[in-house]
Structures are given as C-alpha cells and as structure tokens.
Structure 1
Amino acid sequence: MKSKDIILRFAFFPQMGIGLLGNSFLICLFMFSFLSGHRMRPVDTIITQLALVNCLVLLSKGIPETMTALGLMNFLDETGCKIIFYLHKVARDLSLSMTCLLSGFQAITISPSNSNWAELKARAPRYLMPSSLFFWTFHLLFCSYIPWGIKGPKYTRNITEIQLTGYCSYQILAGFQVSIFATIISFPDAIFLGLMVSASGYMMFLLYRHHQQVQQVHLTCLSPRASPETRATNTILLLVSTFVSSYAFNCILTAYMSFIKSPPWLMHSSAFLASCFPAISPYVLISSDSQVTRYLYALCGRKPHIFTLVTHKYSLPRTTS
C-alpha cells in the first residue's frame, strides 16, 4: 500500500473521533434535557436527527477505512458489505434532507409576520415530525438498490467491471447505463440541495434587510461584538457552504470514478470529503446556538448568565417589513 493511501486512511480516525464527539454531545444534551422535563424547541428534533445520521455516516465509513489502514483486509463478508454501504448511503442522504429541513424551517420562522409565509409559519412546527418520518421512509426505500451492486471483498469474476475499496467491491456500470443511473439517483439530491440553498439565500436576504433597518441602533452600541443578525447570517453561510462544498467535490469525484477504474487514493479522498460535513456541522451548531448553553446550565441546576439570555433572545432575529 502506498504512503499516500495510508495517510488518507488514517485521516479517517481523527475525523471520525472529532465528529462523533460533537454529534454525540448534541444527542445526549437534547435527550437529557427532554427527559428532565425542559421545554424543547421544535428545531431541536431536527438537530437531534441530523446529529444521529451524522454519527451513522461517520461510523459506516470511518470504521471500515480505519480497520483497512490497520491492515485488517477483507474483514467483511458480502452481507456485511451490503449493510455497510446501504447504511452509509441512507445516512448521507438523510443528512442532506435534515439540513434542508433545518434551513427551510428557520427561513419560515424568521420570515415577516405579514409575508406570504405567515399562515405556514404558525403551522410549521406541527409539520416537522411528519416531514422527518417521510424523509426516513423515502430514503430507506429509495436506497434499496444499493445492495444489488455491492460484492464481497474477494469477488474476482469480471474484474474489469469491479471497483475495489480495500474492504469491499462494487460493480461499475458501463456506457449509457451510467448516465441514466446517475441521473435517477442524483435527482432527489439535486432537489434537496436546491431547496436548501434557496432557503439559506432567503434567510440571508431577510437578515441583511433587518440589519439595514436597525443599523443605526447597532452603531450607537458601545459593544465591539458583531450584531446578532451578522452572527446568524455567518452561521447560515458557514453551515451551508460547508455542506455544499464537501458535497459538490464528493459528487464530482464520484461521477469521475463512475466512468473509470479509480486509484485507491482518489476513492479515499472522495470518502474523506463526504465525511467533512458530518464532522464539522455539530461544532457550527454548538458555537452558534445559545440554547445549548441554556440546556447545560439547566441540567447543572444553575441560572444562565444574563449575556446568554440576551444572546438567545436575538439569536434568530425576527424581521419586519
């Protein structure tokens, strides 16, 4: 195994550890807060599900890659390979859907009360659980095609049509079949990605307009800190740009590898990029969501600092027309 392949494989271990730590923290915090009887926000259900699927993405890709880097080749049979690839695909698609749902819900929440979203704004929290259930059901069924193309690690028949990963192998389609198949499986991702970018752009527009309206108030403030609108906009930009950039580069590499037999380092690079968002997103949410601090203080039996209360009040500012 080449040195660059080993480096890329070992890079999955710290990425997986850091990502699991952040996502597990969010899951445990919200679960303990819920069991303790604290009032939860509707958005917390989305964040919890996003953290859960992020853990599945990191585990389903990070563990096999790390074990292969340690020299444990062919540790999965064909059934294990099918399960690992299926779970990874479902979790990855759900991560996109939950991020899209989070962006859409926040866009509706901060929309002006007299806008076209006013009626939906009051009913949006009731639609979160049915929407989440729909996404889970849809992706579990839609990704059922994954096991058909996955082979065991020692599959050698028709080797020119098989792509090896180090611990499993999968069949490569040829000719016109590739374009048709790629278009079908990418269509839902394109819709969710477009909705997420549109919702985020709408939020940025609302927050910018609100910031312009209250700019004089912020100019008279003696605090050197950035305004709440600016911090919220930066959070949205960082979260969405992280997802879009990692997803786009991964899609480009995946499309390239669908047409040719790729070297191992390229496959490892694609998998590493796909796992960047699940590893980074929990820390973006933790650093930008002051409610996390309130939950921690509540669980510890302490009152949050007055600055935390003020920050929470303006963390997602409402706009007025």
Structure 2
Amino acid sequence: MRDANVFMGVILLAQTVVGFVGNLYLLSHYLFLSCMGNRMRATDLILRHLIVANFLSLLCRSVPQTMVAWGWRNFFNDVGCKMVFYLHRVGKGVSISSTCSLSIFLAVSISQGESRWAGLKGRAQKHIVSTVDLSWGVFFLVSIPNLKFTTGPKAHDNMTSLKTYGYCYSTHQDPAAGVLYVAMISVPDVLCLGLMLWASISMLFILYRHKQRMRHIQKISVSTRASLESKATIIILLLVSAFISFYTMSCICQICLSVIYNPSPVLHHMTVFVMGCFPSLSPFLLMSGHSTPCSLLFTCTKKKKVILP
C-alpha cells in the first residue's frame, strides 16, 4: 500500500506542477497583453476566469492530496479545512461556468445570419461576460454548506462519525439534508453541462453548413477563413469534450467514495487525480495548434471579416 501511495504521490505531483506551469504561462500572456494596453476581448475575460478557477482547484485539492500521498497528515486546522473545501467547490463551479460561457460565445460568434444564434451577436459579449462575473457570487453562496460539513482533525471526536480525506474530515450528513445539498449544488452544474452540449452540437452544424456553402469557392481568403474557423472551433470542442469527460469520471469516483465504507487512500488519490485533469490539461488545449497561447482564437478576431471571437 505504501508503494501505491508513493506512486500516486509522484503522479499527483507531476500533474500539479504541469497544471501550474500551463496556467501560469497562460496568465502571464494576459498580463503581458494588459501591460501593452491591448483591449480585452470577451474570450480573454472568460479565459482569465477559467485560469483563476484552475488555480483554485489545483491549490485546494491537488496540492493537499499530494502531501497526503507523501506521508503528511492533518496539516490543516478546522478553519483551514473549511476554506480549502469551500474554495475548491467555488473554483469547480466557476470552471464549469466559464467553459459553458466560452462554448456559447463561440457558437453565437460563428453563427450565420439565418441561425437562431445570430440574433444574440450584438448582446453576447456583454451578457456572457456578465454571467461569468455573476457565477462567482452564485457559487460562493451555493458552496456555503461545505463550511458546515467539513472539519479539521479533532482527537476527541468519534472518528467513526467522520469521513477522512487524510488531512481533513467531513461529517456524516442527515439523509434529507444530504439530498437537499446534492440537489442544490447539482442544478447549476447540470444546467451548464446541458448548455455546453447544446452549444457544441450547434457549432458542429454551423461549421458543417458553412463548409457546404464554401465548397465550390476557390478564393484563398475564404479558405483561410474556413481554416481558422475550423481550428478555433475544434479547440473549443476539445475543451468542452475534455471537461464533460473528466467531470463524468469525477462524479463516478466521488459516488464510489460515498458508497464504499472506509475507502482506501489510493481511491482518494485517484479521485483527486481525475478532478485535477481538466485544470491541468485545459491551458495546453487552448495553446494547442499554434505558437502562442490561444492565438488561433485571437487571430480570428483581428480579421474584420471573420466572425469568430
């Protein structure tokens, strides 16, 4: 068991370092753009929220779990445990909200004149960015029950009534309260997942119809435009697909933790690893396919006739 913990500690450490480097590189890109006086576009603002949410997820769950895998125990007090789990839940919520907003914004931006999305183009930037801002407040409120159910190590407590994470504990909830809490935190997540799927399917249909129209047009500018549209859309679709896949696996792992009595530490490590996959992978997905971060998305906005964000 010790060898398995050490192995998972190495994996978690590597994932955390890679995730911090990727997100820090992307964040430094935005700071450089701000220092140069560049005007922030909607995609810039949404992705900055996503980067902050990624940092929260990695810092509040991946780092502590890595320390547990390497042998540290109970290094947080009661307040520290409450804040770590609370901020992780906020970061997770903002991450799903930002990814959802990014997919909807791109679907609106590439829509054609007769599309149902086209009528939202003029208002998309203002309202979608405002929605991401609002999501911080929503998830700060929704995550408050985590403060009640999470506690630090207390030697005088009856340990059989606590669920251990190696560094913090969660109290067993009343069944009715547990169902209510799960429903409360699941509604925003399910809504965002549904909107992501809808936007992704719409993007595929929009891009397919656009390619059908452009099939017989041989102009180089149109071909370049179609290529940029395809690459930018594929990046966002990959981002959404990665989020949905890792989110689903994370839910399965957390269900296993909740139904298994006294789960092994390795299962805890694997669950946190799955939860950290998207925060670690997403910056590299956004940087893929070009030499500078997200330049495919940003290059499209510099072309006056191109309708991507």
Instruction: Bin the TM-score by the shorter chain.
Output: 0.7 to 0.9
TM-score (normalised: structure 1):
0.84
- CA 1:89–1:164 in 2, change beyond 3 Å: closer, same or farther? same
Report what 1:112 is aligned to: 112
- The answer to whether structure 1 residue 125 and structure 2 residue 119 are counterparts is no
- Comparing 177-186 with 26-35, which one deviates more in the overlay? 177-186
Task: Confirm or deny: 8 A CA contact 2:145 2:181 kept in the other structure.
Answer: no
Aligned partner of 1:286: which letter? M
Report what 1:263 is aligned to: 264
| Alpha-carbon distance, 1:43 to partner | 1.2
* Residue correspondence of structure 1 range 265-284 to structure 2 within 5 A: 265-284=266-285
Aligned partner of 1:137: which letter? G
Task: Confirm or deny: 8 A CA contact 2:247 2:275 kept in the other structure.
Answer: yes
Output the CA distance in 2 between the equivalents of 1:50 and 1:315.
Answer: 28
Output the CA distance in 2 between the equivalents of 1:100 and 1:161.
Answer: 38
Report what 2:199 is aligned to: 199
- CA 1:56–1:131 in 2, change beyond 3 Å: closer, same or farther? same
Q: Residue 275 of structure 1: SS of its match in structure 2?
A: helix
1:249-275 deviation per Cα after TM superposition (whole angstroms, max 9, x unaligned): 111121232233322111211111011
- CA 1:6–1:171 in 2, change beyond 3 Å: closer, same or farther? farther
Output the CA distance in 2 between the equivalents of 1:89 and 1:113.
Answer: 39
* Residue correspondence of structure 1 range 127-146 to structure 2 within 5 A: 127-146=127-146
Q: Residue 116 of structure 1: SS of its match in structure 2?
A: coil
1:107-139 deviation per Cα after TM superposition (whole angstroms, max 9, x unaligned): 111111343333321121222442122101000
Aligned partner of 2:153: which letter? P
| Alpha-carbon distance, 1:91 to partner | 0.4
- CA 1:2–1:113 in 2, change beyond 3 Å: closer, same or farther? same
Report what 1:78 is aligned to: 78
Aligned partner of 1:3: which letter? D
Q: Residue 163 of structure 1: SS of its match in structure 2?
A: strand
1:192-237 deviation per Cα after TM superposition (whole angstroms, max 9, x unaligned): 111111111111111122122223447999x9xx944443343233
| Alpha-carbon distance, 1:32 to partner | 1.7
Report what 2:30 is aligned to: 30
Report what 1:62 is aligned to: 62
Task: Confirm or deny: 8 A CA contact 1:246 1:274 kept in the other structure.
Answer: yes
Output the CA distance in 1 between the equivalents of 2:96 and 2:108.
Answer: 18
Q: Residue 144 of structure 2: SS of its match in structure 1?
A: helix
Output the CA distance in 1 between the equivalents of 2:205 and 2:192.
Answer: 20
- Comparing 78-87 with 184-193, which one deviates more in the overlay? 184-193
- Comparing 24-33 with 167-176, which one deviates more in the overlay? 167-176
Task: Confirm or deny: 8 A CA contact 1:249 1:273 kept in the other structure.
Answer: yes
Q: Residue 40 of structure 1: SS of its match in structure 2?
A: coil
Task: Confirm or deny: 8 A CA contact 2:249 2:274 kept in the other structure.
Answer: yes
Q: Residue 11 of structure 1: SS of its match in structure 2?
A: helix
Output the CA distance in 2 between the equivalents of 1:34 and 1:74.
Answer: 41
- CA 1:315–1:120 in 2, change beyond 3 Å: closer, same or farther? closer
Task: Confirm or deny: 8 A CA contact 1:178 1:259 kept in the other structure.
Answer: no
| Alpha-carbon distance, 1:146 to partner | 0.4
- The answer to whether structure 1 residue 97 and structure 2 residue 97 are counterparts is yes
Aligned partner of 2:161: which letter? E
- Comparing 248-257 with 210-219, which one deviates more in the overlay? 210-219
Report what 2:168 is aligned to: 168
Task: Confirm or deny: 8 A CA contact 1:232 1:288 kept in the other structure.
Answer: no
- CA 1:197–1:309 in 2, change beyond 3 Å: closer, same or farther? closer
| Alpha-carbon distance, 1:158 to partner | 3.5
Task: Confirm or deny: 8 A CA contact 1:74 1:154 kept in the other structure.
Answer: no
Identical columns (%): 36
| Alpha-carbon distance, 1:81 to partner | 0.7
Task: Confirm or deny: 8 A CA contact 1:178 1:258 kept in the other structure.
Answer: no
Output the CA distance in 1 between the equivalents of 2:64 and 2:163.
Answer: 16
- CA 1:309–1:275 in 2, change beyond 3 Å: closer, same or farther? closer
1:61-96 deviation per Cα after TM superposition (whole angstroms, max 9, x unaligned): 122122223322211111111111111111011101
**Structure 2 unaligned blocks of 5 or more:** none
Task: Confirm or deny: 8 A CA contact 2:287 2:295 kept in the other structure.
Answer: no
Task: Confirm or deny: 8 A CA contact 1:162 1:172 kept in the other structure.
Answer: yes
1:156-184 deviation per Cα after TM superposition (whole angstroms, max 9, x unaligned): 63433321111111123365654443233
Q: How many residues align?
A: 303
Aligned partner of 2:283: which letter? P
